[in-house]
Amino acid sequence: MIQLQYIKEHRDECIERLKIKNVADVEQRIDEIIALDEKRRAIQKDSDAIKAEQNAIAKEIGMLFKQGRRDEAETKKARTAELKADEKRMGEEMAAVEQELNAKLISLPNTPHISVPRGKSADDNLEVGRFGTMPELPADALPHWDLCAKYDIVDFELGNKVTGAGFPFYKGKGARLQRALINFFLNEATNAGYVEIQPPLMVNEASGLGTGQLPDKEGQMYAIPLDGFYMIPTAEVPITNIYRGEIVSADQFPIRHVGYSECFRREAGSYGKDVRGLNRLHEFSKVEIVVIEHPDRSYERLEEMKHHVGGLLDKLGLPYRILKLCGGDISFTSAMTFDFEVWSAAQKRWLEVSSVSNFEAFQANRMKLRFKDSDGKMRLCHTLNGSALALPRIVAALLENNQTPDGITMPECLRPYLGFDKI
């Protein structure tokens, strides 16, 4: 949720930024919010005056009773009845205005950073770097789903039987590869100063609201209505929500966490060739990094996180590119996002394996995550997160890019975790 104060004090800048996200009727929406806020304040002023009078009378009545002046007390009571009626009416008006204001505020996406490129769709994302070398595969090279079957390391059919499409089984060296990647990613992050967390895989509604999955992306999460829980779509949700409602002390900055979790996504409406094999699953493993930082330093931290993610891909020897997402492709909650895509050499496609974002104060405002600044004032923290990394597409690229006539070569950095060097 954008801070109301920011909207009021920087109306034009706010509108300009939201236009980068192609928000329809921004001026009108912003001005409605400002008007509602003025209305709210006017009502509150009157309502506060009434309450002040009520409080004063109640005090007087207390005194009168004590002094035994009952008649005078009864007279005062009459006045209170009038005030009560007024207060009730105003309270209802206030609640209605607040509800409307809140609904309008919460439906506004985060303001993107002013440097975010304009654009309508993923085609307009800006490539800001390309690393590694793209392997030349022979003409008979296999896509990863064929390799999975050939070496019996990921079984999609079995997943269909036991659960459903998008819930594969990993077997033998495939399962071991999963475990190796998770450990490799967790260790790398720990060495870089991230404190490891193993979070719950289900969260309550308040947590979903805190990080912005609710109400915006309700249909994307698996829900357990009987208990009011949601299966997490990413470890970002439970880990960031650790700090929901907290006032952290400034000397804790930056707060760095890493967590591995299974991620559950309904992916409603996405079908076709994009979902083949490991390209898009309903359940997948991911290691996530989460950072909470002082507003003045959050963009430094974003760079640091990008560096960390890039380092992982370098070590894995996968060719990748970094995209700065345009206004049309960036998420609802994000102010700036970089996607990392690896080259999947047999599919001849770029696959997104990480998304690193700065949410600025957007999540913190929803969660009321604050700190006391050096001037003693309460301020909202900035929150950031990134995948480091999501496994399935990494596995897809590793299998495809490293295939040879006598097996699939595993990258050096994973061998201590794998116990073998070839599948």
Partner RNA sequence: GGAAAGAUGGCAGAGCGGUCGAAUGCGGCGGUCUUGAAAACCGUUGACCUGCGAGGGUCCGGGGGUUCGAAUCCCUCUCUUUCCGCCA
State the residues that interact with RNA by CB under 7 A.
37, 41, 44-45, 47-49, 51-52, 54-59, 61-62, 65, 77, 80-81, 84, 228, 247, 370, 372, 378
Q: How far is the CB of 44 from RNA (least distance, A)?
A: 5
> 3-state class of 170 per DSSP?
strand
Burial of 52 (0-12, 13-18, 19+ CB in 10 A): exposed
- For residue 230, the minimal CB distance to RNA (Å) is 14
Tokens of 118: 């304009």
Q: What minimum distance in Å lies between the beta carbon of 33 and RNA? A: 12
When the beta carbons of 36 and 313 are compared against RNA, the nearer one is 36
The whole-angstrom separation of Cα 85 and Cα 82 is: 5
Q: Which is nearer to RNA, 297 or 379 (CB)?
A: 379
| Residue 349 Cα distances to 54, 311, 313, angstroms | 70, 21, 16
Closest CB to RNA among residues 43, 313:
43
As given in the structure block, the two tokens for residue 101 are 């204001």
How far out from the chain centre does Cα 257 lie? 14
List Cβ neighbours of 235 (8 Å cut-off, separation of 6 or more): 197, 199, 259, 260, 261, 263, 286, 287, 288, 290
Identify which of residues 229 and 299 has a Cβ nearer to RNA in the complex: 229
Q: How far is the CB of 34 from RNA (least distance, A)?
A: 12
DSSP strands (E only) in 121-225: 126-131, 154-155, 169-170, 195-197, 202-204, 223-224
- Comparing CB distances to RNA, the nearer of 56 and 158 is 56
Residue type, 158: L
Output 342 or 369, the one with its CB closest to RNA: 369
